[in-house]
Structure 1
Amino acid sequence: MTDQTDETGIGAALARLEGVVRDRLAASAADASYVASLAARGRGKIAQKLGEEAVETVIAAMSEDDAALTGEAADLIFHLTVLLSERGIGWRDVAAEIDRRHGTSGHAEKAARKA
């Protein structure tokens, strides 16, 4: 694991990624970006692609190849960012939910969602 400052850490990387994704989602349908072309195919296609990347991440995790796992994790986060952004949800919203759950046992939190 590497030490990172706020400017280079995961938060900064996610903020940059989210900005690029939101810009490309807002661009015209004629935009040739991957994000725009994926969004043009609809939320179902974005979700399908996220699922594919999740499976590829699991496969990479089982391969013991750290570089492959890192790459697949980046792909997974990218596609999750596209889906969240398409829904109008930002990484700050996700961070707020993580903060809300902090200090709550996983079992208690899951039980509270069912209630």
Structure 2
Amino acid sequence: MADSCPDDILGELMQVIRARRGSDPSASYVAQLFAKGRAKIAQKVGEEGVEAALAAVGGDTEEIIKELADLWFHSLVLLADAGLSHEQVLDELGRRFGLSGLAEKAARSRS
């Protein structure tokens, strides 16, 4: 998996996450998260976001990478729980690419 391109890694990870959804929670962390429900998964996303922000403030590049990997992972679990895909997020990022961040944010607030 380490030699794959980033989108392939996300796709492969999503396949693993989806496959573990029905697994035994005592044997799979992902299955444990699914068993605890969306509120717990969302809580983990929030916790990992805070940890990534704290790592950034601390300036330790290795910690930043590790915490962002945790954030991305838990975000993928949340997407799978919601029946969504990482491709949908990538499509949204693609839609925003080339737009002024300020203009894009203003357009969202009008919706």
Query: Considering the TM-score relative to the shorter chain, is it more than 0.5?
Result: yes
Shift of 1:44: 0.5
RCO higher in structure (CA 8 A, sep ≥6): 1
- Structure 1: runs of 5+ lacking an equivalent: 1-6
Aligned to 2:7: 11
Structure 1 residues 53-97: Cα deviation after superposition (integer angstroms, max 9, x where no partner)? 011111111222111111111111100000011101111111111
Structure 2 match to 1:62: 57
Match of 1:74 in 2: 69
Number of residue-to-residue matches in the alignment: 107
- Distance in 2, matches of 1:64 and 1:102, equals 28
Task: Provide the residue aligned with 1:51 in structure 2.
Answer: 46
Residue 81 (structure 2) pairs with residue 90 (structure 1): no
1:24 maps to which of 20, 26, 45: 20
In the alignment, is residue 37 of structure 1 matched against residue 32 of structure 2?
Answer: yes
The percentage of aligned residue pairs carrying the same residue is: 48
TM-score normalised over the length of structure 2: 0.88
- Structure 2 unaligned blocks of 5 or more: none
TM-score (ref. length: structure 1): 0.86
